[in-house]
Amino acid sequence: MKNTKVGYRRKEMIWSLIFVMPPVLGFLIFGLAPLLTSFGLSFMSWDMLTPSKFVGADNFNYMFNDEKFYKSLYNTFFLLLGIPVGMVISMILAIMMNRKLSGISIFRTIYYIPVISPIIAVSLLWQWMLNYDYGLVNEFIWKIFGTQGPNWLGDPNWVKPSFIIMGLWGGVGGTMVLYLAGLQGISSTYYEAAEVDGATRWHQFKHITLPLLSPIHFYVVVMGIIGTFQSFSQMYILAADGGPEYSGATIVYYIFQEAFKYFNMGYASSVAWVLGILIFIITLVQFRLSKRWVYQD
């Protein structure tokens, strides 16, 4: 009975396999293979020149005793502060952009431009803006507040706030678009009903807008944390040596230095795996917690 279907089914199968092949091959070669290799490497010592040696858990032992590992981990966690700030700003922007004004799309475009600007060029521009003596930012602070602004990229306490500010400028546009989509997905009937019941604008925002945007909040937090844990380019441009007292080095920067400056491929792989597991755990916890506060329609 089944045999009659085989010819037809088989053709379907072949076709589906062919269509699926490019991404699958791509994943196998550029995704899975490096993943497995780096897992193996994380238990080895390899400088790319001499054959690799199995060293067991040495890499991990070294990592947990390395001052720079903790410093870069701390720096990375510090940068997470940018996520809530970014969410607030982009939500405010989205609410402002969610009006039927003529030319509103121009404003939306303006706020979105930083998202598509190349990060290297943007970082170099910020380097000028944040210059201690001649930068626009400190010039502005001097004009408005009459005081000398901080040494943004030269003072270990100000390097990370500088990175956060740059990240906000570059990131709020993208988040704003997400919130905008979320806002436009909220049915106006809720607001109408609330208005009939005498709810103020604030109450409407607090009890309708905010909860109904919770899937967006969730998405932004998850992606924000993953993105922050992977931040690298800005630091590479603006703090090429790790910044003053290693205050600008993130975990990925640390991995990059170990791998491509000192060629400790095995060690770099083990740090990368710790980072991957860390992101995995944090995201898992977020998904668990999300059941308590994310509304699904």
Partner 1 sequence: MATWKNGKVWMAAMLCLIIVLAGCSSNNGGSKENTNNSKNNSNAAAEQDSTNTGATNAATDGGADAKSSIEFMGWGGDTEKAVFQKLIDAYMKKYPNKKVKYTVVPSAEYYQKLDTLIAAKKTPDVFYAGGANFNKLVASGVLKNLQPMLDSSSLVDQTNVWPAGLDRYRFDGTTTGQGDIYGLPKDVGPWTFAYNKDLFDKAGLPYPSAKAGEYTWDDMIADAKKLTVANDRGKIDTFGVAGYSTESAVWANGGDWTDGKGTITIDTPEFAQAMQFVADLSLVNKVSPSPDDEKAQNGYARFVAGKIAMFPMGPWDQPGFWDLPFNWDIAAWPASPNTGKTATWLGSLGFVVSDKTEFPDDAFRLAAYLSLDQESQKQNYELGQAVPNLIDMAKGEFLQMDKKPENRQVFLDIISDYGRPPIENSSKNTKWLDTFWQDASVVWNGKQSAAEFVKAEQPKLQKLYDESNK
- Note whether 287 binds partner 1 by CB under 8 A: no
Burial class (CB in 10 A: 0-12, 13-18, 19+), 162: buried
Q: Answer for the pair 207, 194: CB distance below 8 angstroms, yes or no.
A: yes
- Note whether 21 binds partner 1 by CB under 8 A: yes
For the bound state, the minimum distance from the C-beta of residue 128 to partner 1, rounded and expressed in Å, comes to: 11
- Note whether 151 binds partner 1 by CB under 8 A: yes
Of residues 232, 140, 250, 230, the one with CA closest to residue 152: 140
For the bound state, the minimum distance from the C-beta of residue 60 to partner 1, rounded and expressed in Å, comes to: 15
Stretch 263-282 residues interacting with partner 1 (CB under 8 A)? 263
- Note whether 244 binds partner 1 by CB under 8 A: yes
- Note whether 8 binds partner 1 by CB under 8 A: no
- Note whether 174 binds partner 1 by CB under 8 A: no
- Note whether 12 binds partner 1 by CB under 8 A: no
Burial class (CB in 10 A: 0-12, 13-18, 19+), 113: exposed
- Note whether 22 binds partner 1 by CB under 8 A: yes
Comparing CB distances to partner 1, the nearer of 262 and 293 is 262
Region of 81-89, 173-181, 242-250, 287-295 interacting with partner 1 (CB under 8 A): 242-250
Q: Which amino acid is at 6?
A: V
CA 56 to chain centre: 32
For the bound state, the minimum distance from the C-beta of residue 116 to partner 1, rounded and expressed in Å, comes to: 24
- Note whether 114 binds partner 1 by CB under 8 A: no
Beta strand 44-45 with 53-54: parallel, antiparallel or unpaired?
Answer: antiparallel
Stretch 53-112 residues interacting with partner 1 (CB under 8 A)? 67-68
- Note whether 195 binds partner 1 by CB under 8 A: no
- Note whether 125 binds partner 1 by CB under 8 A: no
CA 233 to chain centre: 12
- Note whether 246 binds partner 1 by CB under 8 A: yes
Comparing CB distances to partner 1, the nearer of 67 and 297 is 67
What is d(CA 173, CA 244) in angstroms, rounded to the nearest whole number? 30
For the bound state, the minimum distance from the C-beta of residue 43 to partner 1, rounded and expressed in Å, comes to: 17
- Note whether 25 binds partner 1 by CB under 8 A: yes
Binding-site ranges for partner 1 (CB under 8 A): 14, 18-19, 21-22, 25-26, 29-30, 47-50, 67-68, 131-134, 151, 153-154, 241-242, 244-246, 260-263
